[in-house]
Amino acid sequence: MGNDSLKDIAIKELLLHLADDDFIHSYRGAEWLGLAPHIEEDVASSSIAQDTMGHAAIYYKLLEEIGVGNADQLAHDRPAKERRNAIILEVVNGPGYYMKDPEYDWAFAVVRNYFYTQAKAIKLQSLHTSSYEPLAEVAQKVQMELYYHLMHWKMWFVQLLGSGHEEAVSRMKAAIEKTLQDFAGVFSLGQYGEEMVELGLIEGEADLQKKWIEAVSPIFESVGLATTFEIRMAKGDGRNGKHTEDLEKALETLSEVYASDKAASW
């Protein structure tokens, strides 16, 4: 029983990491709707946000199947302290509110989206051989969709940094610094990380991070960026329930309709 229950906890925690990461990432992406730099990008980034919400939904569905709770409830009705997403993904797009004076930073969006999508691709690759069969199956499907997301954000990253445009380059560099400050949170496997690795659910944090660095290094080099950098977790580990006011506000907004009538069928 002891071993079994620890295994159950590790599976549940890993699914929550994946679900909550994609959920808040998709929400931040959706906030750009109507505000992206041009109309083609508006179509592209909102399409990516929609795919990503589909990925969150399938992970919440897997949680529902093992009896953790109803998928809608897990998505909408959990306070910030129960969320497992990495803190970097909850950080606001910029000052303001999407309905009023949004001063969102496209450079930060591009950097965060590229870094996260690349990290997600590496995790999915690892999940292919996960000992938890349902997750291995889902990983393959998500990976096929992610292919296009990664291509898209990589293109933006390279074009803005390679543009030679002073403002673009300096804003991208500032965004890279800001993102790396907390990007270790994306690789964190939380307090049950060791169990996850022992059980063969996913590779360890260090391996994931190493593969990520290997994947981004040639891209960094191609735009003249140094490939030695520090990846930190300055604001704390979201996997263990540590979060910021940014997440609380986001949850309040996104669950407003759900909270108005929890029994309603949409």
Partner 1 sequence: MSTVLLNTKEIYKLLEDVKDPEIDTVSILDLGMVENVTVSGQDVLVKMLPTFLGCPALSIIQKNVETAIKQHPAVKNVSVEFLRSPSWTSDRITEKGKAGLKLFGISPPPRQMKKDGSWHVDCPYCESTYVTMENIFGPTACRSILYCKSCKNPFEAMKPMIKMI
Task: Give the separation between CA 237 and CA 182, rounded to whole angstroms.
Answer: 9
Task: Give the separation between CA 97 and CA 104, rounded to whole angstroms.
Answer: 9
Q: What is the number of other CB atoms lying within 10 angstroms of the CB of residue 222?
A: 12
Contact region for partner 1 (CB under 8 A) — 43-51, 174-182, 191-199, 221-229?
43-51
* Interaction mask 140-179, partner 1, x per CB under 8 A: xxxxxx-xx--xx---------------------------
The CB-of-60 to partner 1 minimum distance in angstroms stands at 12
Contact region for partner 1 (CB under 8 A) — 8-16, 132-140, 169-177, 229-237?
132-140
Longest dimension (CA), the chain: 61
Would you say 137 or 248 has its CB closer to partner 1? 137
Phi, psi dihedrals of residue 100, rounded to the nearest 5°: -145, 125
Q: Can residue 72 be called a binding residue for partner 1 (CB under 8 A)? A: no
Q: Can residue 215 be called a binding residue for partner 1 (CB under 8 A)? A: no
Would you say the C-alpha torsion 130, 134, 140, 142 has a positive or negative sign? negative
Q: Can residue 47 be called a binding residue for partner 1 (CB under 8 A)? A: yes
Q: Can residue 51 be called a binding residue for partner 1 (CB under 8 A)? A: yes
Task: Give the separation between CA 21 and CA 135, rounded to whole angstroms.
Answer: 15
The CB-of-65 to partner 1 minimum distance in angstroms stands at 10
Q: How many residues does the chain have?
A: 266
The CB-of-138 to partner 1 minimum distance in angstroms stands at 6
Task: Give the separation between CA 259 and CA 266, rounded to whole angstroms.
Answer: 13
Residues at the site binding partner 1, with contacts judged by CB under 8 A: 40, 43-44, 47-48, 50-55, 57-58, 128, 134, 137-138, 140-145, 147-148, 151-152
